Amino acid sequence: MQTIDRNGNALAYAYVPGSGPTIVFLPGYASDMSGSKAVAIDAWARGTGRACLRFDYAGCGASGGAFEAQTLASWRDDALAVIDRVTSGPVVLVGSSMGGWIMLLVALARPELVAGLIGIAAAPDFTGWGFTPGQKAILQKEGRLEQFSIYAPEPTVTTRGFWESGEANRLMDGPIDLAIPARLIHGQRDPDVPWEHSLKLAGLLRSDDVQTVLVKDGDHRLSRPQDIALILRVLEELLGTDPATPS
């Protein structure tokens, strides 16, 4: 594992050199590069000779910084900094949950670099639809919100700064000017991000090369062995089957 410095925070990353576009995994909210999907993609890349980049946003995982000081825009800029300084040539962005929102923001900022998009339960604009009016009122009044999490023993914390940054970077109110091949994978038993959002996103993307894959019994994480196998098949199809020598 290596690091780069951004605004005084050491951003941790793991880079696998290889052929073809670099696969860049973008974690979800309060997640990191050690999750099962990221690790599986890394292992697949190593075995097939593909280039792959995993990293942690500031305040998450092995990266420095205070979690509650971060915003959606700052995490987008973390992603851009790591991509700009570690990779060369085209990238394929794989965004999980909130990472799917950052995936779109990165692609809009670097359209000339991005060769493909894979959203896994992508959650763009969740600061708009993911909170009740009462929760938004708490964020505005108190500056932070704690919510019970089924994924971790600690509550999930959202700050007013993050929420306001999200509202300032909403994308789903009109066409999204990305003419990039995209694959959107979503479980229909996702309790956190309605699968219909992936259908809406597919319609808003300017690209004609967009496919939505629905997993009827899939949950939000899509981390079961069969889910990960599906993600890897979609990734392989999007990248193409050019022969490569494993490193």
Burial class from Cβ neighbours inside 10 Å (0-12, 13-18, 19+) for residue 42 reads buried
Which of the residues 190, 197, 198, 227 is marked catalytic?
A: 190
Burial class from Cβ neighbours inside 10 Å (0-12, 13-18, 19+) for residue 97 reads buried
CA torsion 6-8-14-16 (nearest 10°) is 40
CA of 17: how far to CAs of 24, 45, 86, 111, in Å? 12, 9, 10, 22
The amino acid sitting at 203 is G
| Strands 114-120 and 91-96, bridge-based pairing | parallel
Which of the residues 97, 125, 165, 186 is marked catalytic?
A: 97
Q: How many residues does the chain have?
A: 247
Residue 91 parent element (H or E): strand 91-96
Which of the residues 31, 125, 220, 227 is marked catalytic?
A: 220
Whether 97 is catalytic is yes
Tell me the β-bridge partners of 95.
26, 119
Any idea which residues carry the catalytic annotation? 97, 190, 220
